[in-house]
């Protein structure tokens, strides 16, 4: 089985995010970058599928030097190959541009299965995985929380919906976007980390991917962030005093009379 | 500039998604004398077509057994047929499980720009401007579409006034455009037997964290939530510990919420949790540590023992809300 995993590098969820000097992007100074948390579930699902059916896991990441760290981590976890997608022409792509780049790259390995996280926790778009499926002409299931293999080309997956879940039968090839709860991602072993250093990591540009540079990057972007603002400050609240019973009575009173939310 | 707008009329099991009417309301307010069309699909949904048409917009209904269950492949083909007929400037979806599943695929098929989770959307000359949260609520972005470019957007429920339906409107029947075989097919739907509202759409949320000490103590949260008719929320710490399912998680790697009232019990307030709930109307924090960061965003703070306060609060709320 040939499995492609799409990896994004994002600021850690613990990072404090400040708006940058240009007022339309974040200040990256001192921000710790990590593998997008949902991509870790995608990576684990890929490794489990490989363990079950054999084959190869290829990880793809778009970006500068930093993404190489994330891809190297995936190699340490057990991916076989990494591909870095890098070209000045890619800068400023919107989600469809990113999806075009990833789809072109993924197509090259003719995967049976493509995994990615359900959303990147930076822009919160949840767009690229589903777009890649459309561009590859594959079915997709998004927000997958359960995965059970029937055989090498069929699986049953569960996805969350409002107030419940859906179960789907999937015939490969397909794109699955992973949610938390799908599995428990493993940690890299020392042996894995040593082996990762010797595994292939290739860098591909627009020409190598056969991408028309006019369809990606800032020139082709149909949406752009024009402004970023911090959330509104909340004014200092009121600390309610007294013993437990007094505090509770006072709380219910203010919720009713002041906040008017009861 | 007059805009042509196509709205996806999401329904599930024959029930129209409430927020579709909000999106029709939004569409009417930004169309600037253009047009608003709605495309809806499913099986046995004639009355939904009538309700939608009762809002005074053009409605296109695809009613067929092959569309009984949502499927990106089938539904996107159907929406695409409507796009070709209507030639909209923008296609709007609810930011729901179904809308999030379909909208990016429609955008890729149309070669359109895409903006997700919009809290506001307006016409902006020959394009559109939207606001959305990023980094799990740590920043808010204004995103613009390029002049003259087609756009697909998902809109957060609860942010716009619903269009009123007089009911009984006439809808146009559409030919079925769905492919005959599907690579991913819904075989069953499980709805949880619960009276509680969905976390993402709830007006009141009561959430618990590590201060509860053990999984079984989450019952204290349920007891406070019940008289309020509230949804249950949780911090990442107790989701990761396996006390409650992931869909309870509020925060950057869970759900971002903005209810009218958010009561946090035993939650200290990690940065990624605060990002996901600080847009709430009124925030109440109950924590034994007076220095806990949660108090910095709380309107009302109670420093004390959750095990003592929560049962008393449940009782008082029962009295107050009955």
pLDDT at site B192: 82
Residue entry with tokens 């959307």: B121
**For tokens 């957060």, what's the residue?**
B156
Q: What confidence score (pLDDT) does residue B307 get?
A: 98
With b for 16 or more beta-carbon neighbours within 10 A and e for fewer, the A156-181 pattern comes to ebbbbbbbbbbbbbbebbbbbbbbbb
The tokens of A251 are what?
Answer: 């709380």
Interface of A with B in 89-108 (CB under 8 A): 94-96, 99
**Cβ neighbourhood burial of B189 (10 Å; 0-12, 13-18, 19+):** middle
- Mutate one of A97, A106, A126, A222 to test the B interface: name it (highest B CB count within 10 A): A222
pLDDT, residue B32, reads 95
pLDDT band at B180 (very low <50, low <70, confident <90, very high): confident
Mean pLDDT of chain B: 96
Shortest Cα distance from A52 to chain B (angstroms)?
21
pLDDT at B203 (0 to 100): 95
* Mean pLDDT along residues B189-193: 87
Query: pLDDT (tens digit, 9 = 90+) per residue, A9-51?
Result: 999 999 999 999 999 999 999 999 999 999 999 999 999 999 9
Interface check for A165 against chain B (CB to CB < 8 A): the answer is yes
Nearest CA in chain A to B17: A162
Confidence of residue B16 (pLDDT cuts 50, 70, 90): very high
Q: Is B58 left (phi over 0), alpha (psi -120 to 50) or beta?
A: beta
What pLDDT score does A212 carry? Answer: 96
Structure tokens at B42: 């499913």
- B299 has a pLDDT exceeding 80: yes
> What is the chain A residue with the closest CA to B99?
A161
Mutate to test the interface with B, among A166, A169, A258 (most CBs of B within 10 A): A166
3-class DSSP assignment, residue B166: coil
Contacting A residues, span 63-82, partner chain B, CB-CB under 8 Å: none
Ordered mean pLDDT values, 10 residues apiece, chain A (262 residues): 97 96 96 96 98 98 91 98 97 97 97 98 97 98 98 97 94 98 97 96 97 96 97 89 97 96 92
Q: Which of the four pLDDT bands, split at 50, 70 and 90, describes residue B171?
A: very high
Global pTM value: 0.95
pLDDT over 80 at B154, yes or no: yes
Specify the range with the lowest mean pLDDT, choosing from A87-91, A217-221, B176-180, B243-247: B176-180
**pLDDT of the residue at B98:** 98
pLDDT of residue A211: 97
* pLDDT tens digits, B26-82: 999 999 999 999 999 999 999 999 999 999 999 999 999 999 999 999 999 999 999
pLDDT of residue B102: 98
Cβ within 8 Å of B, A 181-220: 181
Measured in angstroms, the CA of A76 and the nearest CA of chain B are apart by: 24
- For chain B, the C-alpha Rg in angstroms (whole number) is 22
Residue A24: per-residue pLDDT = 97
Residues of A in contact with B189 (CB under 8 A): 161, 164-167
Residue B250 has pLDDT above 90, yes or no: yes
Rounded to an integer, the average pLDDT of B279-303 is 97
ipTM: 0.96
The DSSP 8-state label assigned to residue B199 in this structure reads: G
pLDDT band at B201, cuts 50/70/90?
A: confident
* Beta bridge pairs of residue A59: A5, A82
Dist CA A220 CA B152 (whole Å): 16
Q: Would you say residue B263 has pLDDT above 90? A: yes
Q: What is the pLDDT of residue A59?
A: 98
The whole-number pLDDT of residue A3 equals 98
Q: Reply yes or no on whether the pLDDT at B195 is more than 90.
A: no
């Amino acid at each position: 089985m040939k499995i492609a995993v799409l990896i994004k590098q994002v600021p850690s969820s613990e990072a404090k995010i400040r708006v940058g000097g240009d007022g339309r992007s974040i200040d990256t100074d001192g921000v710790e970058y990590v593998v997008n948390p949902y991509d870790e579930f995608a990576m684990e699902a890929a490794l489990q599928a490989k363990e079950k059916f054999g084959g190869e896991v290829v990880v793809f990441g778009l970006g500068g030097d930093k993404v190489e760290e994330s891809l190297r981590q995936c190699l340490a976890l057990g991916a076989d190959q990494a591909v870095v997608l890098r070209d000045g022409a890619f800068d400023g792509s919107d989600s469809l541009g990113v999806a075009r780049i990833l789809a072109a790259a993924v197509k090259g390995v003719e995967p049976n299965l493509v995994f990615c996280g359900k959303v990147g926790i930076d822009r919160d778009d949840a767009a690229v995985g589903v777009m890649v499926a459309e561009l590859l002409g594959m079915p997709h299931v998004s927000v997958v929380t359960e995965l059970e293999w029937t055989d090498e080309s069929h699986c049953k997956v569960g996805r969350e919906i409002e107030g419940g879940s859906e179960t789907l039968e999937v015939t490969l090839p397909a794109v699955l976007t992973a949610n938390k709860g799908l599995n428990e991602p493993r940690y890299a072993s020392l042996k894995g980390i040593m082996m990762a250093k010797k595994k292939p990591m290739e860098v591909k540009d627009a020409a190598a991917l056969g991408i028309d540079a006019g369809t990606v990057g800032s020139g082709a972007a149909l949406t752009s962030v024009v402004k970023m603002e911090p959330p509104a400050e909340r004014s200092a609240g009121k600390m309610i005093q007294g013993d437990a019973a007094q505090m509770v009575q006072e709380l219910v009173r203010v919720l009713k009379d002041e906040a008017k939310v009861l | 500039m007059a805009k042509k707008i196509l709205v996806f009329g999401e329904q599930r099991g024959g029930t129209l998604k409430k927020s579709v009417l909000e999106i029709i309301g939004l569409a009417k307010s930004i169309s600037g004398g253009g047009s608003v069309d709605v495309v809806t699909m499913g099986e046995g949904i004639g009355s939904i077509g009538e309700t939608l048409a009762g809002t005074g917009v053009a409605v296109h209904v695809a009613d067929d057994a092959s569309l009984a269950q949502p499927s990106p492949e089938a539904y996107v083909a159907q929406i695409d047929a409507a796009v070709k007929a209507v030639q909209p400037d923008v296609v709007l979806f609810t930011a729901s499980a179904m809308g999030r599943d379909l909208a990016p695929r429609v955008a890729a098929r149309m070669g359109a720009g895409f903006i997700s989770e919009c809290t506001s959307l307006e016409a902006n000359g020959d394009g559109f401007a939207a606001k959305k949260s990023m980094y799990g609520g740590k920043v808010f972005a204004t995103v613009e579409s390029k002049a003259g470019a087609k756009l697909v957007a998902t809109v957060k429920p609860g942010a716009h006034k619903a269009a009123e339906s007089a009911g009984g409107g006439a809808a146009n029947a559409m030919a079925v455009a769905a492919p005959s075989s599907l690579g991913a097919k819904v075989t069953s739907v499980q709805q949880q037997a619960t009276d509680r509202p969905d976390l993402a759409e709830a007006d009141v949320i009561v959430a618990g964290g590590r201060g509860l000490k053990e999984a079984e103590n989450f019952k204290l949260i349920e007891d406070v939530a019940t008289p309020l008719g509230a949804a249950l929320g949780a911090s990442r710490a107790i989701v990761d510990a396996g006390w409650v399912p992931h869909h309870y998680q509020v925060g950057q790697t869970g759900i971002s919420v903005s209810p009218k009232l958010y009561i946090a019990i035993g939650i200290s307030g990690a940065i990624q949790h605060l990002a996901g709930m600080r847009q709430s109307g009124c925030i109440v924090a109950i924590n034994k540590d007076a220095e806990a960061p949660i108090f910095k965003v709380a309107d009302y703070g109670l420093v004390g023992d959750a095990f003592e306060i929560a049962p008393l609060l449940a009782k008082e709320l029962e009295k107050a809300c009955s």
